Amino acid sequence: MKKKIKEDNPINLEEFLSIIEEFVNHKTVQEMKNYRQHYETTCFDHCYMVAYYCYFICKKYHLDYRAATRSAMLHDLFLYDWRIRQPDRKGFHAFTHSKVACDNASKLFELNQKEKDMILTHMWPVTMQFPTSIEGFILTFVDKYCAVSETFEVLKSRMFMKKAFRYAYVFLSLLIIRF
Ligand SMILES: [Fe+2]
Ligand SMILES: [Fe+2]
């Protein structure tokens, strides 16, 4: 029974880490920690989370989880702050960064065509290029899910802070009125 549960469980952290080991220890990939992607989440952490979910889903459904995990870890490998206008870059970041990431990743690592396509098309449907594999579609949806949850987490905590300040203000006002 225990063996069966282990076989059904798609999470094997050691395997996940071994798939992305080559990337996460690379100096250039480490540099992603210096750039924010969504609010407080760095590009590195965002890619790591997307890779983790892609690994989980693709392994569970017996898909090409290796390719999905590898391309997810590199899908936002652009090394600039996209909030600041880059004089050497033409076009909006949302439309161009998948090509930048794919070029950077291809220069640094040996990627197969499927992995390159997944990185290149991960911004669908914002960009017109359709993913060419089921794993590519999974990457696009997981990427959006992570982007929304990273944004939502910050907004939620900011709303909580606002509420806390409002209650503190009312409490202090009541104290001042009383004394
Ligand atoms: Fe992206
Ligand atoms: Fe992303």
Which residues are close to ligand 1, an ion, with C-beta < 5 A? Answer: 76
Task: Verify cis geometry, omega within 30 degrees of 0, for the bond prior to 131.
Answer: no
Domains contained in the chain, number: 1
CA of 97 relative to ligand 1 center, distance in Å: 7
Structural domain span for residue 11: 2-178
Cβ of 40: how many Cβ atoms within 10 Å?
A: 11
CA of residue 151 to ligand 1 center, whole Å: 14
Q: What is the pLDDT of residues 61-111, one digit of tens each?
A: 999 999 999 999 999 999 999 888 877 778 899 999 999 999 999 999 999
> CATH number of the domain that 99 lies in?
1.10.3210
- Closest ligand to C-alpha of residue 126 is 1
Q: Does pTM top 0.95 for this prediction?
A: no
Radius of gyration, alpha carbons of the chain: 20
pLDDT band at 37 (very low <50, low <70, confident <90, very high): confident
